Structure formats: C-alpha cells, structure tokens
Amino acid sequence: MNNEMMQRLEQIQEELAALGAEAAEIFQENSPSLHDQGEAYGAFEFGTSSNPYDTTLASLIESAQEEEFA
C-alpha cells in the first residue's frame, strides 16, 4: 500500500476512536448503567479489541505496515 492509503487508514482509525469516545460520553451522561455495560464489553472500541487474537481494523493496518517494511 502506498503512503497516502496508509495515512487515510490511520485517519479512519483515529476517527473511529473519537466516535467511540463520543458515544461513551453520551451514555455516561444519560445512562451510566448502560455506559458501564458498554465499557465492560468494549462496545465503544471501534476498530480495536482487547483480545489480541481478534482481527480488527487496527490489526490489519499494523499488518499492512509490517508488510510494507518487510
């Protein structure tokens, strides 16, 4: 992948993280119990996972970067 595509993928990942944080904030302010449930299950983590075996946008970007520099 060229540098421009990689930069756009990283930008998308950053946008997803911001949207997840915004969604978490809305739930925190309006329904703390649902916020807690969402936090417990990673519902606000778009494109990432705490499970290292999950395939996510973040892990695909990382793999693409590794292939580029291999």
pLDDT for 13-50, tens place per residue?
A: 999 999 999 999 999 999 999 999 999 999 999 999 98
pTM metric for this prediction: 0.84
Name the token pair of 63: 């793999």
Q: Report the pLDDT value the prediction gives residue 24, as an integer from 0 to 100.
A: 98
Q: How confident is the model at residue 70 (pLDDT cuts 50, 70, 90)?
A: low
Please list, in sequence order, all residues whose beta carbon lies within 8 angstroms of the beta carbon of residue 61, skipping any fewer than 6 positions away.
Answer: 6, 9, 10, 13
Largest CA distance in the chain: 47
- For residue 66, pLDDT beyond 90: no
**What values do phi and psi take at 18, rounded to 5?**
-65, -40
**Are 34 and 27 a contacting pair, CB within 8 Å?**
yes
Helix, strand, coil abundance in the chain, percent, nearest 5: 70, 0, 30
Sequence spans of domains, the chain: 3-68
pLDDT above 80 for 68: no
